[in-house]
Structure 1
Amino acid sequence: MTRVMGAAMRRIQAGNALSAFGLGFTVPYLYVYVAQVRDLGAGTAGAVLAVFAMAALVVLPFTGRVIDRRGPLPVVVGGAVLAAAGAVGMGVAASVPASVLSAVLLGAGTAVMQPALATMIVWCSEPSNRTRAFATQFFLQNLGLGIGGLIGGQIVDVGRPGSFTLLFGIEAAMFLVLAAVAGTVRLPRTSATASLPKEMAARGGGGMRALLGHRAMVQLCVLGFVLFFACYGQFESGLAAYGTEAAGIDPSTLGIALAANTAVIVVAQFVVLRLVERRRRSRVVASVGLIWALAWIIAGYAGLGHASQTMATAAFISTYALFGLGESMLSPTVAPLVADLAPDEMVGQYNAAFALVKQLALAVGPAVGGPMGAALHGPYIVTFVLFSLGVSVLALRLGRRLTPVQDQPSLAYTSRVVAVHKPEAVTASY
């Protein structure tokens, strides 16, 4: 990594951590703020959360092409400013229209920043250090979210709307800090997009068709959907409902479980990185599926095993901790693989497509898992044990489509040869 690349990477990681710190201030309290503090009701709060997710689904399909045409930097800055406006608006919103509009701005802004930041990390890294760069990003995001949530919890007071206005103000300030930091980044690589508009015009704008014709990327997107559906899509919906209804977990214990999840990620990330960065990515992801299957079985014991309340609580917290262990294995594996699969001129579109898959899973996950976790306890556990085992099967199948270097990047360090995997011709998928 050159000095310019190293300086750019440090600024990107610092800005990313600060924005995560700002998000941590408000994300856990958004529902309570709209429903109780502003007294707009549970229905409006649910609508605000839904709009927040839907805004991301609307903008992400267009984000990748903008990144590839204009570069990731203006997208990060624009997204951060948009999210800051949404945060300020949410902090003073006292009506349903104002809350919904603020949620649109906040959801759209945070959504477009994800693939743009991932593309900046790709541009400022090399295959030999990309795995560690994405692991560092994930570590700093979770550290920022955890610290932000912890401090925010000490500030919030349901009886004082001004305390929430302060939280949203801090969040907006952190987004503006990200915009300012990103604006100072000198990206070392800009030639990849120089000829893209002409090439895109020549192909008739077939970027998405090329992506859909890339079978390895399509398989990775399917795998990604199952990953996010079986884990992140259940944290604050199905698994929380199951814990309180089936296992009798006190609602306050949910905060402890989430803290355990974050703590495992923060403590284990770089230890795990040393263990996985020289192993085949497909097998690492397959191992995550087995770990998560065990986590769901332990959750089943907590709610269905007739254990004492203390044992049930310990088992439930252990479930979240095991999820964190799996997450720490995924962070240096999946995101770098998206980058390695992407042609240079389509890195933004590949990152945006994967972000869209994640957002879809986060939208579908609560809708499916919430009702099941609350009422169908046994089927809920069995369903997600099977989904976790499905992760292992899909990962091993994906491994057969990857080149040896894509599956195990450390092979390139000794051979000094990096294989580039281009998408199959679009006609290959028919």
Structure 2
Amino acid sequence: MGAAMRRIQAGSALSAFGLGFTVPYLYVYVAQVRDLGASTAGVVLAVFAMAALLVLPFSGRAIDRRGPVPVLLVASLLAALGAVGMGLAASVPAAIGAAALLGAGTAVMQPALATMIVWSSTPAGRTRSFAMQFFLQNLGLGVGGLIGGQLVDASRPDSFLLLFSIEAAMFLVLAGIVLTVRMPESAVLPAARPASGRGGGVRALFAHKAMVQLCVLGFVLFFACYGQFESGLAAYGTEAAGIDPSALGIALAANTAVIVVAQFLVLKFVERRKRTRVIAAVGLIWTVAWLFAGYAGLGHGSQTMATAAFVSTYALFGLGEAMLSPTVAPLVADLAPESMVGTYNSAFALVKQLALAVGPAVGGPMGAALHGPYILTFVLFSLGITFLAVRLGRQLTPVQNQPSLAARPSRVVAQHQPAKETAAA
């Protein structure tokens, strides 16, 4: 990695480290520590998510016009203010306001960081760059959560103020690191700079058939995995499988461990295959994961076997995540026209946020009460991932689908235009 990429990755990891301090404890903090009640905690979490949905449609255009660095600086400062505000929030309006700032700031960080990675990499190196970001972010979240768990004390609000202060400090560190980054002139995307007045926007994105299909695929991916982790799948495990709540922590730890161990082991495999075939394979792996979950809750084995099967479900999800991280995010960037990298990254982040909002709302009640239909539904969604991935492969150029085919830095990806623009030309 060059100096710019090293600093981008370091800032990304530190911001994830800060988030790890508070994300697992936000509900408990609002509902119990500040004694604002469960309903208020639910509203705060909803505002956190809704703020992201509101700002993401505008962040992409801002990134393309102003560049990712100024947008990331503003997002970091907003998130830092939100974190401090949350640590001091003793009333419902204060907690809701802080959640809005924190949700909006953290939501914009991801597409801004992704765009910086695009500008600082080539299509061939982009796969490894996004894999490294995913690895470091998961490591940062895990370590932050582990340390935060040792510092937190539900009987002492000051301990939570410490956590939120550390989170705010990490966002400010990210802003400081970003200020030192000199964005290189990319040999692959030389025109990926703020463009004034050039065509683009949402209309151009919707005219791009491959990107629309990728967004649909992305929604299914996030809905069938991340949208179930802490809602439907957890409810199903405790209600249908009788999993001890402590085993949920073991399952999540297994998921993280597989990601950390497998990320760079699968990287060479992923780099030499077509991206859509890798995504299709993930769909099959997750199908097996949901069948394991079905055995845990609907089988007639011992409690030990049910727990082992449930933990294996999370581990298989982790393997799929490790395969997706160097595949999906680089593909989004490689599909983007030169002046719309930020727009494409923000659009895909919005799709992810929608899936994370809808997933718990659908999966939670089903996982708790409709055990058989819940498993069947997500087995079908996982098979749908494979189907959609194969279909997407027909829309991609060979280099977009497998960047390793390019013997030298190529402008094929950078010059790709949505279908309508190409036809008009």
How do 1:339-350 residues align onto structure 2 when only pairs under 5 Å count? 339-350=333-344
8 Å CA contact retained: 1:302, 1:312: yes
Please identify, of 307-316 and 371-380, the stretch whose mean Cα deviation from structure 2 is larger: 307-316
Match of 2:250 among 249, 256, 261: 256
Kept in 2: contact 1:71–1:193 (CA 8 A): no
The residue aligned with 1:245 is: 239
Decide whether the 8 Å contact of 2:76 with 2:175 is kept in 1: yes
2:215 corresponds in structure 1 to 221
Instruction: Say whether the 8 Å CA contact 2:277–2:389 is kept in structure 1.
Output: yes
Distance 2:246 2:302 in 1: 18
Q: 2:418 aligns with which of 402, 412, 423?
A: 423
Residue of structure 1 aligned with 2:44, choices 38, 43, 48: 48
Q: Tell me how far apart the structure 2 counterparts of residues 28 and 319 of structure 1 sit (CA, whole Å).
A: 21
Provide the rounded CA distance (Å) in 1 between the counterparts of 2:147 and 2:95: 24
Match of 1:74 among 62, 70, 73: 70
State the partner residue of 2:53. Answer: 57
TM norm structure 2: 0.96
**How many Å apart are 1:351 and its aligned residue?**
0.2
Q: Give, in whole Å, the separation in 2 of the partners of 1:415 and 1:40.
A: 56
CA RMSD of aligned residues (A): 1.6
Change (3 A) 1:233 1:174: same
Secondary structure of the 1:401 match is coil
Partner of 2:101: 105
Identity of aligned residues (%): 78
Aligned to 2:198: 199
Number of matched pairs = 420
The 2-side partners of 1:195 and 1:116 are apart by: 13
The CA deviation string for residues 362-419 of structure 1, in whole angstroms up to 9 with x for no partner, is 0000000000001101100000000000000000000010001111111003696745
- The amino acid of 2:336's aligned partner reads A
Instruction: Give the AA of the match of 1:34.
Output: V
Distance 1:35 1:416 in 2: 54
Listed as ranges, the matches of 1:259-278 within 5 Å are: 259-278=253-272
1:261–1:322 CA contact under 8 A, matched in 2: yes
Is there any run of 5+ residues in structure 2 with no aligned partner, and where?
Answer: none
CA distance, structure 1, for counterparts of residue 371 and residue 153 of structure 2: 34
Deviation at 1:426, TM superposition (A): 6.1
Q: Which stretch of the first structure deviates more once superposed, 36-45 or 322-331?
A: 36-45
Q: Which residue of 2 aligns with 1:297?
A: 291
Structure 1 gaps of 5+ residues are 201-205
TM-score, with length taken from structure 1: 0.95
- Once the two structures are overlaid, the 10-residue window that deviates more, 113-122 or 419-428, is 419-428
Inter-CA distance 345–95: structure 2 relative to 1 (3 Å threshold): same
Does the aligned pair in 2 maintain the 1:18–1:174 contact within 8 Å? yes
**Which digits, 9 at most, give the CA deviation of each residue in 1:296-344, with x for residues without a partner?**
0000111111221111111111111100000000000000000100011
1:39 to 19, 35, 42: 35
Query: What secondary structure does 2:198 align onto?
Result: helix
The correspondence for 1:309, drawn from 299, 303, 312, is 303
Does residue 145 (structure 1) correspond to residue 144 (structure 2)? The answer is: no
Contact 2:22 2:148 in 1 (8 A): yes
Distance 2:179 2:348 in 1: 25
- Identify the residue that residue 158 of structure 1 maps to in structure 2: 154
2:420 partner amino acid: A
> What SS does structure 1 have at the residue aligned with 2:272?
coil
